[in-house]
């Protein structure tokens, strides 16, 4: 009889893609999906190590599933926590049968790993007593990037980027086009355990999209993700954009991300990009995004104060960001914008905070995420002086969130009475191009609209980030709505 699996996913869209690839691999090995974790023979927790709160949630989830699983079922912990804290996690969680870093098979009959980092917990270690707090974690040394297959050669056979995925059951899907990151942001631990960027080929991305579309649900939207999406393929020699001169000033060749966006947009009606580093959003990429018909820009800004951004080891400052946003709105007034900011980075002054509040007011973005600074072990920022007290950080975060919530609500209210096109994701729920799946708001629609279809609707109401809409009969003129 076939064994059953259950995969629990925490964290970001990139982790969700990894989970789907793990599922594709398990199905390929003869496993079938369990209806509940209690019925599974193999329970997998794909963890997130982004900040302390995410780690706590991951460990709480592991402990809850350890209690819930049936006798004899194996419990495997994988994902960023497994990669970053593997040995200590294995020691602290004796309930877990295997702590599997990236590229480690999750069950004994799977093919051998190319870069095995699996750890089996020792039997005699005392339990963590049902709570995340006793698990003190220190980071393992950064991986040997070359041995992780960074830029030197083909990806390992078991690399998650290369694993097949099952067809999608929703009309949209995340597609991860690269793993790792070549930047050096002061607060970020990702490069230390995900390694240097290694990009897929455009052909393999397109092949994955064809796999995803090979089911009963039409695939209408692809959301491209990577740690630093706009740098797609710049890690591969020969794909760095050369500069050339044609009878005048030097101009840049189009970058691989531009070509990728063009290729993907021939396959699906909506192509959406997440996590764009601001210096990489040049005219060519803006044009590529606008030409897909999805004028949605997710800019990873993190702050607007130049001195603070320098301390973050990041490019840019608020005025340049605003100039770019205004220029895009001149080209396409209906453009939607998302960004994220870190609040309370070491050295953030009242002046920096006021600057950010004024910028948020001026920018009028559609969606913004605010994150309290979390000193990640081993990062540049963890060792900085002038750490912002947690109460002050919480106060600043509340001020930013209140201001942005009001802006988001106003921008949503402005859509009442307009016609929009929604992609119906589930019965009664759709999205226009303005809403990224599982991240932004939704549009409530009548439940009889077919899942996977596009529908013209009239917005009749708004509640915070969400809209309510009724069907509209009429032709679509192709403009973003």
Q: For ligand SF4, which residue of 42, 173, 188, 423 counts as binding (CB under 6 A)?
A: 188
From CA 317, how far away is CA 301, in angstroms rounded?
Answer: 9
Q: How far is the CB of 210 from ligand SF4 (least distance, A)?
A: 28
Helix (H, G, I), strand (E, B) or coil at 9: strand
Q: How far is the CB of 187 from ligand SF4 (least distance, A)?
A: 7
For residues 283-316, b (16+ Cβ closer than 10 Å) or e, as one string? ebbbebbbebebbbbbbbbbbbbeebbebbebeb
Q: How far is the CB of 197 from ligand SF4 (least distance, A)?
A: 8
Is residue 454 within a helix (H) or strand (E), and if so which, with residue range? strand 454-463
Q: How far is the CB of 230 from ligand SF4 (least distance, A)?
A: 10
Stretch that binds ligand SF4, among 151-159, 183-191, 286-294, 440-448 (CB under 6 A): 183-191
Cβ-based nearer residue to ligand SF4, 22 or 312? 312
Cβ-based nearer residue to ligand SF4, 380 or 413? 380
- What is the contact mask toward ligand SF4 in residues 265 to 304, using x (rule: CB under 6 A)? ------------x---------------------------
Token pair for residue 247? 């009878």
Contact 418, 459 (CB under 8 A): yes
Q: Which DSSP state fits 186?
A: T
State how far the alpha carbon of 134 is from the alpha carbons of 59, 146, 341, 377, 382, in Å: 10, 34, 30, 17, 21
Cβ-based nearer residue to ligand SF4, 315 or 394? 315
Q: For ligand SF4, which residue of 227, 374, 379, 432 counts as binding (CB under 6 A)?
A: 227
Q: How far is the CB of 374 from ligand SF4 (least distance, A)?
A: 12
Burial class (CB in 10 A: 0-12, 13-18, 19+), 33: middle
Q: For ligand SF4, which residue of 18, 97, 159, 228 counts as binding (CB under 6 A)?
A: 228
Cβ-based nearer residue to ligand SF4, 143 or 191? 191
- The residues pairing with 70 across neighbouring beta strands, listed in sequence order, are none
Q: How far is the CB of 188 from ligand SF4 (least distance, A)?
A: 3
185 is a contact residue toward ligand SF4 (CB under 6 A): yes
Cβ-based nearer residue to ligand SF4, 147 or 184? 184
How many residues make contact with ligand SF4 (CB under 6 A)?
9
Q: How far is the CB of 14 from ligand SF4 (least distance, A)?
A: 10
Nearest to 128 by CA among 95, 100, 101: 95
Q: How many Cβ atoms from other residues are within 10 Å of residue 395's Cβ?
A: 14
Token pair for residue 77? 């912990």
Nearest to 299 by CA among 222, 353, 229, 355: 229
Is residue 1 within a helix (H) or strand (E), and if so which, with residue range? none
Cβ-based nearer residue to ligand SF4, 188 or 234? 188
Q: For ligand SF4, which residue of 40, 76, 190, 407 counts as binding (CB under 6 A)?
A: 190
Stretch that binds ligand SF4, among 38-46, 184-192, 356-364, 408-416 (CB under 6 A): 184-192
Instruction: Check residue 372 and give left, alpha or beta (phi > 0: left; psi -120 to 50: alpha).
Output: beta
Cβ-based nearer residue to ligand SF4, 160 or 188? 188
Q: How far is the CB of 402 from ligand SF4 (least distance, A)?
A: 25
Q: For ligand SF4, which residue of 156, 191, 346, 430 counts as binding (CB under 6 A)?
A: 191
Instruction: Check residue 476 and give left, alpha or beta (phi > 0: left; psi -120 to 50: alpha).
Output: beta
Q: How far is the CB of 18 from ligand SF4 (least distance, A)?
A: 15
For 203-214, the DSSP string reads: HHHHHHHHHHTS
Nearest 5 degrees, angle CA 222-CA 273-CA 477? Answer: 70
234 is a contact residue toward ligand SF4 (CB under 6 A): no
Cβ-based nearer residue to ligand SF4, 277 or 321? 277
Cβ-based nearer residue to ligand SF4, 342 or 393? 342
Cβ-based nearer residue to ligand SF4, 278 or 452? 278
Stretch that binds ligand SF4, among 188-196, 344-352, 363-371, 416-424 (CB under 6 A): 188-196
Half-sphere exposure (Cβ direction) of 306: Cα atoms closer than 13 Å: 3
Residues 400-439 that bind ligand SF4 (CB under 6 A): none
Cβ-based nearer residue to ligand SF4, 5 or 50? 50
Q: How far is the CB of 13 from ligand SF4 (least distance, A)?
A: 13
Q: Label each residue of 27-50 as H, E or C.
A: HHCCCEECCCHHHCCEEEEEECCC
Phi, psi (5° rounding) for residue 32? -125, 155
From CA 413, how far away is CA 419, in angstroms rounded?
Answer: 13
Query: Footprint of ligand SF4 on this chain (CB under 6 A)?
Result: 181, 183, 185, 188, 190-191, 227-228, 277
């Amino acid at each position: 009889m076939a064994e059953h699996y259950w995969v629990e996913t925490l964290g970001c869209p990139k982790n969700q893609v990894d989970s789907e690839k793990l599922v594709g691999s398990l199905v390929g090995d003869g496993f079938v999906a369990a209806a509940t974790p209690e019925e599974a023979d193999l329970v997998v927790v794909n963890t997130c190590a982004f900040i302390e709160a995410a780690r706590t949630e991951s460990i709480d989830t592991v402990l809850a599933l350890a209690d819930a699983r049936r006798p004899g079922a194996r419990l495997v912990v994988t994902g960023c926590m497994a990669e970053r804290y593997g040995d200590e996690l294995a020691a602290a969680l004796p309930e877990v049968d295997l702590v599997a870093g990236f590229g480690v098979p999750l069950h004994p009959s799977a093919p051998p790993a190319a870069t095995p980092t699996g750890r089996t917990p020792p039997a005699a270690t005392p339990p963590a007593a049902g709570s995340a707090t006793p698990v003190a974690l220190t980071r393992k040394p950064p991986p040997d990037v070359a041995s992780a297959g960074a830029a030197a050669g083909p990806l390992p056979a078991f690399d998650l980027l290369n694993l097949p995925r099952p067809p999608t059951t929703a009309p949209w899907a995340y597609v991860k086009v690269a793993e790792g990151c070549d930047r050096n942001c002061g607060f970020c631990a990702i490069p230390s355990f995900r390694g240097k960027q290694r990009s897929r080929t455009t052909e393999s991305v397109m092949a994955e999209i064809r796999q995803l579309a090979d089911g009963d649900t039409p695939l209408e939207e692809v959301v491209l993700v990577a740690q630093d999406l706009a740098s797609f393929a710049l890690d591969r020699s020969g794909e760095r954009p050369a500069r050339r001169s044609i009878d005048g000033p030097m101009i840049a060749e189009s970058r691989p991300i531009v070509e990728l966006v063009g290729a993907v947009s021939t396959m699906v009606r909506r192509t959406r990009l997440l996590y764009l580093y601001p210096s990489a959003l040049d005219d060519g990429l803006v044009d590529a995004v606008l030409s897909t018909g999805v004028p949605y820009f997710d800019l990873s800004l993190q702050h607007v104060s130049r001195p603070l951004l320098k301390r973050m080891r990041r490019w840019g400052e608020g005025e340049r960001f605003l100039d770019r946003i205004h220029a895009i709105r001149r080209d396409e007034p209906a453009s939607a914008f998302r960004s994220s900011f870190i609040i309370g980075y070491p050295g953030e002054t009242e002046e920096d905070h006021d600057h950010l509040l004024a910028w948020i007011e001026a920018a009028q973005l559609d969606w913004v995420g605010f994150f309290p600074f979390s000193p990640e072990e081993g990062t540049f920022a963890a060792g900085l002086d002038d750490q912002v007290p947690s109460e002050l950080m919480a106060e600043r975060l509340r001020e930013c969130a209140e201001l942005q919530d009001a802006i988001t609500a106003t921008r949503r209210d402005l859509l009442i009475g307009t016609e929009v096109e929604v992609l119906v994701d589930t019965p009664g729920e759709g999205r226009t191009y303005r809403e990224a799946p599982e991240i932004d708001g939704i549009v409530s629609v009548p439940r009889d609209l077919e899942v996977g279809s596009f529908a013209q609707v009239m917005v009749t109401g708004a509640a915070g980030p969400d809209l309510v809409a009724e069907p509209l009969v009429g032709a679509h003129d192709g403009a973003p709505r």
